[in-house]
Amino acid sequence: MESLNSEYLSTFEAAAYLKVSAQFLKVLRSRGNGPAYCQVGRAVRYSRNGLDEWMRANLRTKTREKPVNGAPPKPAKCGSATSTSARKRAH
């Protein structure tokens, strides 16, 4: 039987498990749209099940699909209808 400790991964172990950088996980954590984690003191731990669930929740079949996890929208591009210059021209 696996020990309880082996079910939880550090940020670096979780990043390796997901094949992403540890910095990427840190950014997701600060934005609030990454995998669920537990913080014990200064230590951050991710459960393997939580990582798998997060990956399943973010499955897509098209590149333009919106993320399931409620990620914030991307900023408007220059020249789009919501850009500052476009709003100034409209007035």
Reported as a single tens digit per residue, the pLDDT across 22-58 is 999 999 999 999 999 999 999 999 999 999 999 999 8
Reported as a single tens digit per residue, the pLDDT across 56-73 is 998 888 888 776 555 544
CATH topology for 4-90 is Multidrug-efflux Transporter Regulator; Chain: A; Domain 2 (1.10.1660)
Is 51 exposed, middle or buried (CB count within 10 Å of its CB: 0-12, 13-18, 19+)? Answer: buried
Residue 9, SS3 per DSSP: strand
Task: Give the Cα separation of 79 and 36 in Å (integer).
Answer: 37
Q: Which of 18-22, 34-38, 75-79 has the lowest mean pLDDT?
A: 75-79
